[in-house]
Amino acid sequence: MDFAGAFGSFARDAERLLARFGVTLSKHDGILVAYSGGADSTFLLHLLLTLKKKYGFPLAALHVEHGIRGEESRSDAAFCRRTADALGVPIKVVSVDVPATCRATGESVETAARRLRYEALRRGLFDLPGFRYIATAHNRDDAAETLLFRLLRGCGTDGAGSIPVVRGDLIRPILDQPSRRIRETLSSLGIAFVSDSTNADPFCARNYLRREILPRLSHLTPDPGRMLYECSLRFREDEAYLSSVADAVPAVDRTNRAALAALPDPILKRVLVSEFARVSSVMPESVHIDAAVAQIRKERDGEIAFPDGVTFFARGGEAVFKKGKSAAKTDPIVLTEGETPIPFSGDAAVCAVFSDRLETTSSLNVYKLSKKVILSSATIEGNLTVRPPASGDKIVYGGATHEVRTVLSSHRVPREIRPFYPLFCDEAGILWIPGLAVRDGCDGRKTTGGITLLAVFGGLTDRVAEYTGRNNDGTVKERTDAK
- Measured between alpha carbons, how far is 301 from 154 in angstroms, rounded to an integer? 28
Each residue's pLDDT tens digit, 162-176: 999 999 999 999 999
The DSSP secondary structure of 168-205, one letter per residue, reads TTEE-TTTTS-HHHHHHHHHHHT------GGGG-TTSH
Residue 480, pLDDT score: 32
Percentage above 70 pLDDT, the chain: 83
* 454 φ, ψ (degrees, to nearest 5): -130, 125
| Cα–Cα separations (whole angstroms), residue 397 to 92, 430, 433, 438, 480 | 68, 10, 11, 6, 25
3-class DSSP assignment, residue 475: coil
Instruction: Return mean pLDDT, the chain.
Output: 83
Radius of gyration of the chain (CA): 30
Q: How confident is the model at residue 62 (pLDDT cuts 50, 70, 90)?
A: very high
Neighbours of 188 (CB within 10 A): 9
- Measured between alpha carbons, how far is 120 from 326 in angstroms, rounded to an integer? 32
Strand partners, 385: 334, 425
Give the DSSP H/E element, type plus range, for residue 371.
strand 371-376
Helices in 330-442 by DSSP H: which ranges?
404-410
Each residue's pLDDT tens digit, 407-429: 888 887 766 567 778 889 999 99
Each residue's pLDDT tens digit, 63-75: 999 888 888 889 9
Q: How confident is the model at residue 60 (pLDDT cuts 50, 70, 90)?
A: very high
Residue 435, pLDDT score: 81
Neighbours of 450 (CB within 10 A): 20
| C-alpha dihedral sign at 339, 344, 349, 355 | negative
Strand partners, 432: 424, 438
Q: Vertex 268, ends 267 and 274: CA angle to 5°? A: 90
The DSSP secondary structure of 400-417, one letter per residue, reads EEEEHHHHHHHTT--TTT
- Domains in the chain, ordered, with CATH? 8-231 (3.40.50.620), 259-323 (no CATH), 327-468 (no CATH)
Torsion of Cα atoms, 258 then 259 then 264 then 265, to 10°: -70
Residue 266 in this model has a pLDDT that exceeds 60: yes
Residue 271 in this model has a pLDDT that exceeds 70: yes
The type of residue at 248 is A
Q: Which residue has the higher pLDDT, 44 or 109?
A: 44
- pTM, whole model, 2 decimals? 0.62
Residue 359, pLDDT score: 44
Over range 139-159, report the average pLDDT. 89
